[in-house]
């Protein structure tokens, strides 16, 4: 069946829209993507130890043009995409002439149900997205080792922001996994933050430092996350999907994902598919686990998605 959907000229409220999405997926067998990862640039003002993408800055097409971005957003809408996350590089650096990332976000909000941005937090947190994630990888000393002495700049921007839906995103690796509780405590004590999400370092083997957790470290980290969540810390990953990350034997619906890269290429499937070699045993992509769980109507994943994207 054709993946291209004929859209209405009006918007349904989100409960009806997502119900219609589910009906199309489950009963009409249409392979509609739920979530788009949209890398608008590889350029970045940091050179983080765990990241391979800033190493691609010199690529001929490492930075998307406005025209390409708009055409791509229109394509994502025609394909039925509901949620989009602008990423990088550092997406807040994106410019094309007089256009900046704020303009892309506003355009995307006219087309899609929800629009999010993931940023390194070193620039003002004023982008008009529905959900704003700031990457913070541990306590100040740990984060600064991993992310170029940027903690103080990030924290200053968090304190100044007027955005009402800012979340911390922690990528766990062998240098910061023991900071989990102290970072969760900091988030809990900070009124500007609505909570935190975690995922696990994925080894692309493309020039980044190999920071993958050992199996026993991963197990201990997940047990700690579950304990913290149970005792009221604002960890928004669902308990069920965190537990499933122990051995990565959860059911992955990778066809609900769609990837966009700065050259304008669109790839359906696994987040890594157009960006490196896929190794499911090493997967740390908890957002994919949650999205797959939501498609299977797992209550914890549905609740996590509501808190992150839909709650007002």
Q: What's the CATH fold of domain 35-310?
A: TIM Barrel (3.20.20)
Tell me what pLDDT residue 60 has: 79
Please give the Cα distance from 131 to 114 (Å, whole number).
8
In this predicted structure, the answer to whether residue 3 has a pLDDT above a threshold of 60 is no
Is a pLDDT exceeding 80 seen at residue 1?
A: no
Question: pLDDT tier at 8 (50, 70, 90 boundaries)?
Answer: very low
Residue 284, pLDDT > 70, answer yes
Confidence of residue 312 (pLDDT cuts 50, 70, 90): confident
Confidence label for 12 from pLDDT (cuts 50, 70 and 90): confident
Average pLDDT over residues 41-52: 96
Measured CA to CA, the distance from residue 11 to residue 35 in angstroms comes to: 18
Q: What is the mean pLDDT of residues 92-114?
A: 97
Nearest alpha carbon to residue 89 among 127, 132, 35, 51: 51
The two structure tokens encoding residue 174: 């062998």
Is residue 78 classed as helix, strand or coil in its secondary structure?
Answer: helix
Q: Is 52 a residue whose pLDDT tops 50? A: yes
Q: What is the pLDDT of residue 2?
A: 40
Q: Return the domain boundaries, the chain.
A: 35-310
What is the mean predicted confidence (pLDDT) over 70-94?
97
pTM over the 0.85 mark: yes
pLDDT of amino acid 11: 62
Q: Is 24 helix (H, G, I), strand (E, B) or coil?
A: helix
Q: Tell me the per-residue pLDDT of 145-194, one tens digit each, with 9 for 90 and over.
A: 999 999 999 999 999 999 999 999 999 999 999 999 999 999 999 999 99
pLDDT of the residue at 263: 95
Cα 39 to chain centroid, rounded: 11
| 4, pLDDT greater than 80 | no
% of the chain with per-residue pLDDT over 70: 96
Q: How far apart are CA 276 and CA 205, in angstroms?
A: 8
pLDDT, one tens digit per residue, over 251-281 is 999 999 999 999 999 999 999 998 999 999 9
The CA distance from 103 to 307, in Å, is: 25
Confidence of residue 142 (pLDDT cuts 50, 70, 90): very high
* Inter-CA distances, 197 with 32, 68, 100, 125, Å: 25, 31, 27, 18
Tokens of 307: 């808190």
Band (pLDDT 50/70/90 cuts) for residue 224 is: very high
Question: What digits encode the pLDDT tens for the residues 203-223?
Answer: 999 999 999 999 999 999 999
Q: Give the mean pLDDT of 282-300.
A: 97
């Amino acid at each position: 069946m054709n993946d291209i959907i004929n859209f209405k000229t009006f918007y349904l409220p989100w409960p009806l829209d997502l119900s219609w999405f589910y009906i199309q997926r489950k009963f009409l067998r249409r392979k509609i993507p739920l979530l788009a990862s949209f890398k608008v640039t590889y350029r970045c003002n940091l050179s983080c130890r765990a990241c391979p993408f800033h190493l691609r800055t010199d690529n001929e097409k490492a930075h998307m043009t406005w025209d390409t971005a708009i055409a791509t957003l229109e394509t994502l809408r025609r394909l039925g995409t509901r949620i989009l996350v602008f990423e990088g590089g550092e997406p807040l650096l994106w410019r094309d002439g007089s256009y900046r990332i704020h303009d892309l976000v506003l355009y995307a909000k006219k087309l899609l149900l929800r629009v999010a941005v993931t940023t390194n937090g070193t620039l003002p947190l004023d982008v008009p997205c529905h959900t704003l994630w700031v990457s913070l990888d541990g306590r100040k000393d740990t984060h600064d080792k991993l992310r170029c002495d940027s903690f103080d700049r990030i924290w200053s921007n968090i304190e100044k922001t007027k955005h009402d839906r800012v979340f911390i995103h922690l990528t766990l690796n062998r240098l910061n996994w023991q900071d989990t509780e102290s970072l969760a405590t900091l988030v809990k004590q900070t009124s500007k933050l609505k909570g935190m999400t975690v995922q696990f370092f994925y080894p692309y083997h493309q020039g980044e430092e190999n920071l993958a957790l050992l199996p026993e470290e991963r197990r201990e980290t997940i047990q700690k996350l579950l304990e913290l969540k149970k005792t009221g810390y604002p960890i928004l990953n669902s308990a069920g999907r965190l537990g499933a990350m122990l051995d990565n034997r959860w059911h992955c619906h990778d066809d609900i994902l769609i990837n966009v890269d700065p050259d304008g290429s669109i790839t359906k499937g696994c987040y890594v598919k157009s960006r490196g070699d896929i190794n499911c045993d090493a997967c740390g992509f908890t957002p994919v686990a949650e999205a797959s769980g939501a498609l299977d109507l797992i209550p914890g994943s549905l609740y996590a998605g509501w808190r992150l994207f839909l709650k007002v």
